[in-house]
Amino acid sequence: MNDIDVTVYFNEHRLAALDEVLNDQGRTIEGVLRKCFEETYASLVPEEKREEIEALIRQEEAQAQREAEAARRFAVIHFHEDGDDFHFTSDLRNTLYSAAYRYRNFLQEDVGKLTLDSLAVAFGEHQPIDDLTFSILCDAMEHDERITALLEFDFDSGIISVKEQADPEWRSYRLKDVSTAIYRAERRNGLSLQTREQIFEDALHGQEIQQKEPEEITPQIQGM
């Protein structure tokens, strides 16, 4: 929204007295001024003009939403344990490295103790999705640059499978090897993120286990 600040100068003693009275009434100066602005706007600006402005505001909001969605980058993640599944997207933890970091430092000790949706909280802000949406997003990854990675955490077998945007095929690793790789990347202070990611990749080199077909990893995904 293209809101702007409006500055009004008022004597500090008068302002303090007004603020005290309004607080006793459960109101605020900001709220009173906003209401005053809205009433003044409605009384002075003709209805036809207001309708034009509201249409313009809706148009600008829709455009901003489209631009934000186009700029979005997120991972599509699946947790599986003991017959239970939880699917979600994460904008903040959208690479194998960042997801592995969360697993080692905030997740692995709670696996088997918490529900899968509670475990997902370790990824910070995330959006739960159903299995159908998960499958659609997996199929769309090849043509949708917003999707940076597909991540499968199988806590029963202790395996993580990943397909990042640049990967032609899925890769699978033991979660304990991924955790060790994060330890090696994070044990020294002062390193850049790029350096840590390279140490992580080097530590995983040669640790890849036999590739699983996507249908084996997630039976609901077809045609991948």
To the nearest 10 degrees (0 to 180), the angle between helices 29-44 and 12-24 is 90
The pairing of beta strand 147-154 with beta strand 74-81 = parallel
Q: Collect all residues with Cβ–Cβ distance below 8 Å to 126 and sequence separation of at least 6.
A: 77, 88, 89, 90, 120
Task: Per residue of the chain (224 residues), give pLDDT as tens.
Answer: 578 888 889 999 999 999 999 999 999 999 999 999 999 999 999 999 999 999 999 999 999 989 888 888 999 999 999 999 999 999 988 999 999 999 999 999 999 999 999 999 999 999 999 999 999 999 999 899 999 999 999 999 999 999 998 888 999 999 999 999 999 999 999 999 999 999 999 999 999 997 555 444 444 444 44
What is the per-residue pLDDT for 83? Answer: 93
DSSP element (H, E) containing 5:
none
- Cα–Cα distances in angstroms (integers) from residue 65 to residues 68, 72, 76, 90, 93, in the given order: 5, 11, 21, 18, 21
Alpha carbon of residue 41 to chain centroid: 38
Give the C-alpha separation, 180 to 6, whole Å: 54
182 contacts 104 by C-beta, under 8 angstroms:
yes
The confidence score (pLDDT) of residue 2 equals: 75
Question: Which pLDDT score, from 0 to 100, does residue 3 have?
Answer: 84
CB 156 within 8 A of CB 82: yes
CB neighbour list of residue 159: distance below 8 Å, 6 or more residues apart: 152, 172, 173, 174, 175, 209, 212
